[in-house]
Amino acid sequence: MKIETFDDVLKSIKVNGDRQFHLLMGNGFSMAYDSTIFSYNALHEFITDLDDELLSKLLGIIKTKNFEVIMQQLDTFAALIDAFGTDKKLKGKIEVASKKLKASLLDAVKALHPEHVFKVPQEKNNACATFFKAFLETKGHIYTTNYDLLLYWVLMRNDIMRAVDGFGRDRESPDEYVPPEELEYSELRWGKHKAGQDIFYVHGALPLFDTGVEIVKEEYDNEHYLLEKISARIGGGDYPIFVTAGNGREKLTHIMHNRYLTHCYDSLSNVTGSLVTFGFNFGDSDDHIIDAINAAAKHGKKVFPKLLSIYVGVYSEADQKHMEHIAGRFKCKVHLYDARTANVWG
């Protein structure tokens, strides 16, 4: 397949002025910012350094740094125990290991993360904002499977039209008269404000929490950075919306049990026009994303509007070969472009 450049993608956006172009980002977006922080290697080293006996044994047996693979194997083992009726105590130990690994992953992402928004250099911030605008200006959406704060930070520091994540404040006691100076508003809630949503965290993110009643977003105040607020909330027993399941089926099950994630996934399943990916490798654990793309493509149906094409960013010859191998799984036209030419962070 021909390898295009990101300039070719921008030309397509310009030529097809009446078409929405959406963006789907994976871990490569964060790694492009700093691979020493956001790579599997960094997460693996953090968890290894915890010196936890159970996790050390686990990582020693399952020799991979891809945590999705590890969790998938744990889930498979637990299912085999059910199938063969083996000792339930063993299954309990596996479930403990899985929970401990997920908690350690969250700790790793939090600990390795830049301390606050102003740690991102202004030139990188500006370059990334320009990258996002290319899609939002077509009335397209931004979808991300990343948990970190980079997308949130860039949007917060720039005045970008249409960058709406669906969270907003509700007035407390709306049915009662309250003098203007005494009005009180809720924390940032998702739901009533979702109609104009353009930003979608498909696998959740660090600042998003499900209270059991509401989906809320943690925010800065005048005294604490966002990561401090998130850490305090986790310390109090809350857990971010954070999809860490192994394979695509398990991830989709997690998504369908949370109304915010379901809304994000349904939105991706109904995009029209074109979809551009950056830093997303369509690996073995991404079947649910391919299914969403194919649902949007409405294959074999003469129904419009629908998803017509996808532009996949590849970094290496291995990436290119992988995409050429699986291109037939996509029910829309597939283009490949060199992701390195996008210069997302300048």
The helix/strand/coil state of 20 is coil
Gap between the Cα atoms of 10 and 138, Å rounded: 11
Higher-confidence position of 35 and 325? 325
Q: Any idea which residue has 């109304």 for tokens? A: 259
Query: Which whole number is the average pLDDT over 119-130?
Result: 94
Residues near 343 by Cβ (< 8 Å), separated by ≥ 6? Answer: 6, 127
Which of the four pLDDT bands, split at 50, 70 and 90, describes residue 293?
very high
pLDDT tens figures, 143-188: 999 989 999 999 988 888 888 999 998 876 666 665 666 566 678 9
List CB contacts of 19: < 8 A, sequence separation 6 or more: 13, 138, 273, 274, 308
pTM exceeding the 0.75 threshold for the entire prediction: yes
Q: Give 301: exposed, middle or buried? Use CB within 10 Å, 0-12, 13-18, 19+.
A: exposed
Is residue 318 predicted with pLDDT exceeding 90? yes
Give percent helix, percent strand, percent coil of the chain, each to the nearest 5. 50, 15, 35
Least confident of 220-234, 279-293, 321-335: 220-234
- Averaged pLDDT for residues 31-51: 82
Tokens, residue 151: 């997308």
- Local confidence band at 303 (pLDDT 50, 70, 90 cut-offs): confident
Averaged pLDDT for residues 17-32 = 96
Please state whether beta strands 204-210 and 199-201 pair in parallel, antiparallel, or not at all (unpaired).
unpaired
